[in-house]
Amino acid sequence: MQGLRTMRLKMQTSEHVVLRVLRIVFFLVVASLCERGHAVTVADLDSSDVHGTPFPAPLLSLSVHGAKKAYRKNDIVELRVFLKNESASNIYVPAGWTISVSLFLQDHATGEDVSTSFISSLLPPPPRSRRDFLKLNPGGYVEGKVGLSLSDYELKTGHKYDLVVQYWSAVPKEMGFGLNVYGSERPAIVAPPVSIGIVSH
């Protein structure tokens, strides 16, 4: 059984990696097909946002609110997530940024990923202009809602699990129309884990 569990976990990891690669390829293909008419001119942007201007490395943080301490196996976890600009420069994220928020569970005691039958295949629509991005001023944030169906996981009553939430941009920086976009080239942003317990009723 342990060997089977290990194999399933490796398969899940491989599927996530493949999906991430496919997302990058998808947006690179779209970028190569974009018409020149969608390009942003210098006159359209603030001087601090124009492509080529040196920016400090964007720094975002992710936080989670709304989780209860206990759930049943078939419950749906509904959360509010906040993506905050911790840097001193404007940062841009896709308007549909919550599609790029992933949630998964880890065993609280061992830290191992919990086996699941669910793999998200959602792809956000490619941006067609700078209007498809949200501007985060220094210290500013955006809020969104995400959910997780516990019935998709192999959970044990009486056990404690850590809910891990992360944001990974699916949009490469080169598709940011000259804006300081937190692109897919950068690492995922992980929120502090939230511990939940599974009860029978």
pLDDT at residue 124, rounded to an integer = 76
Domains of the chain in start order, with CATH, are: 2-198 (2.60.40.10)
Q: How far apart are the first and last CA of the chain?
A: 28
Cβ atoms of 154 and 115 closer than 8 Å: yes
Q: How far apart are CA 15 and CA 129, in angstroms?
A: 31
Spell out the SS3 assignment of the chain.
CHHHHHHHHHHHHHHHHHHHHHHHHHHHHHHHHCCHHHCCCHHHCCHHHCCCCCCCCCCEEEEEECCCCEECCCCEEEEEEEEEECCCCCEEEECCHHHHEEEEEEECCCCCECCECCCCCCCCCCCCCHHHEEEECCCCEEEEEEEEEHHHECCCCCCEEEEEEEECCCCCHHHCCCCCECCCCCCCEECCCEEEEECCC
**pLDDT reported for residue 125:** 83
How far apart CA 24 and CA 178 sit, in angstroms, is 18
pLDDT in tens, the chain (201 residues): 444 344 343 444 444 444 454 454 444 444 443 333 333 322 233 434 444 455 455 489 999 999 999 999 999 999 999 999 999 999 999 999 998 999 999 999 999 999 988 776 667 788 999 999 999 999 999 999 999 999 999 999 999 999 999 999 989 999 999 999 999 999 999 999 999 999 987
Which of 159, 157, 166, 173 shows the shortest CA–CA distance to 191? 166
